[in-house]
Chains A and B, each alone.
Chain A
């Protein structure tokens, strides 16, 4: 039998009896270091203080609490456990937890209650053996070095090719992290040809999606759902592809399926709310957003967007009919939460106030609505962060409805300046205004930017830089143009860029410092920022 004397264990379960009996089983196995927690929240705090070798996590920890899956995600994403830690999900019934689990984070094993000492000992021993076998891979994962993961996998497969299937997933993830997309595609396609698994389909679908191959991605997910119709994560992937293709109706339908299988998923409910809102299904939107808000309380994926979305859906649902007392109370509560929890976020403060004003106006209280609008406008003037496109469009419309049309127009102008190089954004803006001073503002800069990109790709760096500079002087807050200019400057500057060049780079990045973290270019901005500012 293995020696557990030096190993640390954590038992997480909301039932005292269960904790006690598991602890005594472990003691009988020679374990000395056993801690217990009665909730996921407590488990996370304990894992932040101490590195555990083994975690026995009960899946269901009571309504309104984090479940075992959420705890596992938090532990992994916050790097509170090593990949060498043995994480066992204890369930009364595993099919439920499998449906509720996310494809990307799986426990090392499930252990079904009831179990006895021998059963526990047997599982632990085998899992330790497996972790020992995979040790070089797991250590490379902890170091965050995908190239080393691949090397370790290759070494293991050479040593004992019989265990090669245990490496498949590590290899796929590493290829993805190394951006070796062609290799990854070949690798995944080969697995699918012999032994299809849900995660393989999900990885291939998301790869195709990322490359913009929407048709293929859709095909992959549809094939996946034929083989694994009860995996909610696959519906999520298909819905994302359908959104990219503009088929919001079917996307909503997919997420409704996923929610039916697995309603406990904050991000899924929020995505469903947004789709339903776009599709003018206000009943469905309120319901989904309401779930997202209430489940968000115990989740790392809690987001103020769900609160704002819920209010929007409730208002649209009752459009033309005022708002009843119960709805007003709900609106007050969810908006109050946003204002209270995001005191530092200027954008959210403005949006929550305007949303409140809009609801008051709908409820017939024009006076208070005007007062709140006034407050929001004052904050708006001092705001230096950019709204996301969706937020800007909503805010502009609300300002207009609240009698502040010119403020609304200037929000739209700002939005066009920041995002106008994206034709999709321009289409959305054109839906809410036909003002030529808004719609026509970007044409020249966007053309220049496009020419700049072409020159850059053709290796004409100086020519590209000139185009970008001209474009930026026309639209100094355009994210794409500013990032392109900075990138061209750095490329020209080479190993030792001059001080004036660096200063220009800093100016470029400063002018778009308001970029929202939700923007798809935020990563690129962060990377450039690190190179230019050193942090």
Chain B
């Protein structure tokens, strides 16, 4: 019980500040949306608008990730898996990114090819990973991106594929280092991969842990992110 009486712990300070920042950003985003709705149609579009939407999502994703990493660090990130409708899950992820997708003029589609309409995972955690990957994919995509869910053996595979230039070669070669958090100079994308890998690994079944993989190619030829859930 002595924990409460310790002095200022900087990671706790960051965590509580991030929490407030998230609230503040939420208020900002919703106010912005409302304001936008009142503008004449013409003023609503434009590339600046795309930047604003994208950076909102990006900031939000980073804050979620930062809080998640903090909780992982102190072993307080709960995992609470349950059955979720896959279609619902994918639609919700795309809906959250709708404004950016529209402003970037990206055609986003999804495909589910599984026997069961349900998947078993922690919805909030997996959603935070997919949100970050989507933000990235939308940014780098040429015109299209595809979310697909399929089964590989006993595992559920959630993939995000785009038609952009793909991940840099160096990143593909060193993905294991990012995943293990070894490469400290990789910036936010590397951190994102680390976070995604940790979330994946929290999902475990009969000794098999979830994992992630990045590659170039896929149906659309660009970056291909894959999340394996046992």
Task: Give residues in A with beta carbon < 8 Å to B.
Answer: 15, 17-18, 20-21, 24, 92-95, 98-99, 110, 112-119, 121-123, 126, 130, 162-163, 165-166, 195, 197-198, 227-231, 256, 260-261, 283-284, 287
Contact = CB atoms under 8 A, between A and B. Distances in A.
Interface stretch (B82-90, B157-165, B169-177): B82-90
Contacts of A116: 33, 95-96, 98-99
A166 B120 contact: no
A328 B79 CA distance: 45
Nearest to A117: B33
A21 B68 contact: no
Interface string B85-118: 1001001100110110000000000000000111
B78 A114 contact: no
Contact of A95 (B3, B33, B68, B204): B68
Contacts of B25: 114
A231 B81 CA distance: 12
B88 A261 contact: no
Contacts of B75: 229-230
Contacts of A126: 85, 88, 91-92
A92 B71 contact: no
A229 B85 CA distance: 26
B216 to A, nearest CB: 30
Number of chain B interface residues as a range: 35 or more
Contact of A92 (B23, B85, B91, B124): B23
A60 B127 CA distance: 21
B27 interface: yes
B80 A231 contact: yes
Contact of A119 (B67, B78, B83, B95): B95
B29 A114 contact: yes
B97 to A, nearest CB: 9
Contacts of B85: 126, 130
A197 B34 CA distance: 40
Q: Which of A95, A98, A130, A227 has the most CB of B within 10 A?
A: A95
Contacts of B37: 24
A115 B31 contact: no
26 contacts: A17-B27, A17-B30, A21-B30, A24-B37, A92-B19, A93-B22, A95-B71, A98-B124, A99-B76, A112-B127, A115-B96, A116-B96, A116-B98, A118-B98, A119-B96, A122-B88, A130-B85, A162-B116, A166-B118, A195-B81, A195-B83, A195-B120, A197-B82, A228-B79, A284-B1, A287-B1
Contact of B79 (A92, A166, A230): A230
B60 interface: yes
A231 B91 CA distance: 29
A283 B95 CA distance: 51
B contact face: mostly helix, strand, loop, or mixed = helix
Pick from A114, A115, A116, A117 the residue with the most CB of B within 10 Å. Answer: A114
A130 B82 CA distance: 15
Nearest to B56: A114
B26 A114 contact: yes
A227 B122 CA distance: 13
B64 interface: yes
A95 B26 contact: no
Contacts of A99: 76, 78
Given A123-B92, A195-B81, 7 more contacts: A92-B19, A93-B67, A95-B77, A114-B29, A121-B95, A122-B95, A287-B1
B98 A119 contact: yes
Contacts of B204: 227
| Central interface residue in B27, B92, B117, by most chain A CB within 10 Å | B92
Given A21-B33, A123-B92, A163-B118, A113 B23 contact: yes
Nearest to B204: A227
Majority DSSP secondary structure for residues of A touching B: helix
B96 to A, nearest CB: 5
Contact of A98 (B34, B67, B78, B95): B78
Residue in B22, B123, B204 whose Cβ sees the most chain A Cβ within 10 Å: B22
Contacts of B82: 197
Contacts of A92: 19, 22-23, 26
B80 A198 contact: yes
Contacts of B26: 92, 113-114
A150 B116 CA distance: 23
Nearest to B63: A93
Closest 9 CB pairs of A and B: A230-B78, A114-B26, A113-B26, A114-B29, A165-B83, A94-B124, A126-B88, A122-B95, A119-B95
Contacts of B91: 122, 126
Interface in B1-43: 1, 3, 19, 22-23, 25-27, 29-31, 33-34, 37
B134 to A, nearest CB: 13
B80 A118 contact: no
A99 B85 CA distance: 23
Nearest to B21: A92
Contacts of A287: 1
B19 A93 contact: yes
Interface hub of A93, A113, A122 (most chain B Cβ within 10 A): A93
A228 B1 contact: no
A197 B31 CA distance: 38
Contacts of B1: 256, 283-284, 287
A122 B78 CA distance: 26
Contacts of B127: 112
A508 B177 CA distance: 76
Nearest to A121: B95
